[in-house]
Chains A and B, each alone.
Chain A
């Protein structure tokens, strides 16, 4: 399967702590995109990281990409209760415009 696989499947932390989620994949990629989904709603685009990039930041979010290990991580610093959501990585495989998704990480931030 070309799916991205997020790890852990579920994560529960206290407000103010950092949350780290990982995404692994099996084939070469063009880019990888992280999304947030609140309770069965649409996906909110967070960050796109290209295969030739190693790290990107956006506000409290930091994404890293290690193509040698075929993995990416999403770090949310100083988490808030409003960060409670499911987080997905979308993998864009080389030669295709399609994004394929893993099962996501369900993050719960307790106030």
Chain B
């Protein structure tokens, strides 16, 4: 069965520093992969999505992610973090007819 693992429950980063959030997936076949962000007291918003093609995908607000089939990974990156990036980030993989399977999320805290 498909699954998503986000090994880091919490990440703390200084404003202006780079950020990488890890995501490992398990999926039989070629996955569609997604990163969502959840700001406090809000729903999830799509950051970026991967459909088979270029392994590096660009998203909103300077985020990008890289797909690796050999590592079963879809890590999210941002070169310079802003205080407004304080949020919870979810990785997800398509779940055939059941929509998406989500990881448990990584809570990102940004400090000056």
Task: Report if A and B associate in a common complex.
Answer: no
Hey, which bits of chain B sit against chain A, CB under 8 A?
none
Mark A residues whose CB is within 8 Å of B: none
